[in-house]
């Protein structure tokens, strides 16, 4: 039963790490990256669709994204969606859409760094909440006499080690993202 709790907790912690990765992918560095446009929704025949379902997004060069709608009649709608996504991007439209990445100013880089730190802190809080839930479940098992106090202490040690590992992974990813953001 304790192993089940640990397995479930580890899976939840991994999901927190994945959520952090997707949040970091949306933060703009100086380079073009298709993940920047992952939050863009395009109005497609009356319903909103994610950009990646109505167009292919590729990196043309280090500072430009190339967006090719699957349906040529969607070029204007995709252009409009990118402009209205509040990403600070100004696409150039022809038969394909080129999205140049503006150079980041020092102030913008610091703002992005603050956002990255905030996302990392949210992930840490999530991991700690999962640890709290796991420990609570184990205490309940001990209270219901389904596990011994020795099992509880061993599990607490294992859970703390698991939590420390995930916090360290979050910190490592944050440091990497901060260094990417501060590259000129």
Domain ranges of the chain: 2-25+105-182, 31-100
Lowest mean pLDDT among 82-86, 114-118, 139-143, 146-150: 82-86
Q: Cα–Cα distance between 121 and 136 in angstroms, integer?
A: 22
Task: Evaluate if residue 11 carries a pLDDT over 80.
Answer: yes
| pLDDT over 70 (residue 49) | yes
The tens digit of pLDDT for each residue in 73-120 reads 888 888 888 888 877 788 888 888 898 887 778 888 888 889 899 999
CATH node for 31-100: 3.30.1360.40
Locate tokens 């025949």: which residue? Answer: 45
Model pTM? 0.73
Are 89 and 99 in contact by the 8 Å Cβ rule? The answer is: yes
CA 112 to each of CA 30, 75, 107, 116: distance values in angstroms, whole numbers, following the listed order:
11, 29, 9, 6
CB atoms within 10 A of CB 105: 9
pLDDT above 80 (res 151): yes
Which of 39-48, 148-157, 162-171 comes out lowest in average pLDDT?
39-48
Whole-number CA gyration radius for the chain: 22
Fill in the DSSP letter of residue 31.
Answer: S
Helix, strand, coil shares of the chain, percent, nearest 5, are: 65, 15, 20
What percent of the chain stands above pLDDT 90?
Answer: 35
What is the arithmetic mean of pLDDT over 60-76? Answer: 87
Residues ≥6 apart with Cβ < 8 Å to 75: 69, 93, 95, 96, 97
Q: pLDDT band for position 30 (50/70/90)?
A: low
State the pLDDT at residue 44.
81
pLDDT at 158 over 80: yes
Mean of pLDDT values over 129-135 = 95
State the pLDDT confidence band at 166, using cuts at 50, 70 and 90.
Answer: very high
Return d(Cα 128, Cα 160) in angstroms, integer: 9
- The residue with tokens 């863009």 is 40
Residue 179's φ and ψ, nearest 5 degrees, are -65, -35
Q: What's the mean pLDDT in 163-184? A: 90
The predicted structure's pLDDT at residue 6: 92
Confidence at residue 134, expressed as pLDDT on a 0 to 100 scale: 94
Whether residue 184 is predicted with pLDDT greater than 80 in this model: the reply is no
Judge whether 51 and 78 are in contact, CB under 8 Å: yes
Which of 1.10.287.130, 3.55.40.20, 3.90.110.10, 1.10.132.20 would CATH assign to domain 2-25+105-182? 1.10.132.20
- Taking each continuous run of H as one helix and of E as one strand, the counts in the chain are 5, 6
Q: What is the pLDDT of residue 124?
A: 96
d(CA 66, CA 99): 6
């Amino acid at each position: 039963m304790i192993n089940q709790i640990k397995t479930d907790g580890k899976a939840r912690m991994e999901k927190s790490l994945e959520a952090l990765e997707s949040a970091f992918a949306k933060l703009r560095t100086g380079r073009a990256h298709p993940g920047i446009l992952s939050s863009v929704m395009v109005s497609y025949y009356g319903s909103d669709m994610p950009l990646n379902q109505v167009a292919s997004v590729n990196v043309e060069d280090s500072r430009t994204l190339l967006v090719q709608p699957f349906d040529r009649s969607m070029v204007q709608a995709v252009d409009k969606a990118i402009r209205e996504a509040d990403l600070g991007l100004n696409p150039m439209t022809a038969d394909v859409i080129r999205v140049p990445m503006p150079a980041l100013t020092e102030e913008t880089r610091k703002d992005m760094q603050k956002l990255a730190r905030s996302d990392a802190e949210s992930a840490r809080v999530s991991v700690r909440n999962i640890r709290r839930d796991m420990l609570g479940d184990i205490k309940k098992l001990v209270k219901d006499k389904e596990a011994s106090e020795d099992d509880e202490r061993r599990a607490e040690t294992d859970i703390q080690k698991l939590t420390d590992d995930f916090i360290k992974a979050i910190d490592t990813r944050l440091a990497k993202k901060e260094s990417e953001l501060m590259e000129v």
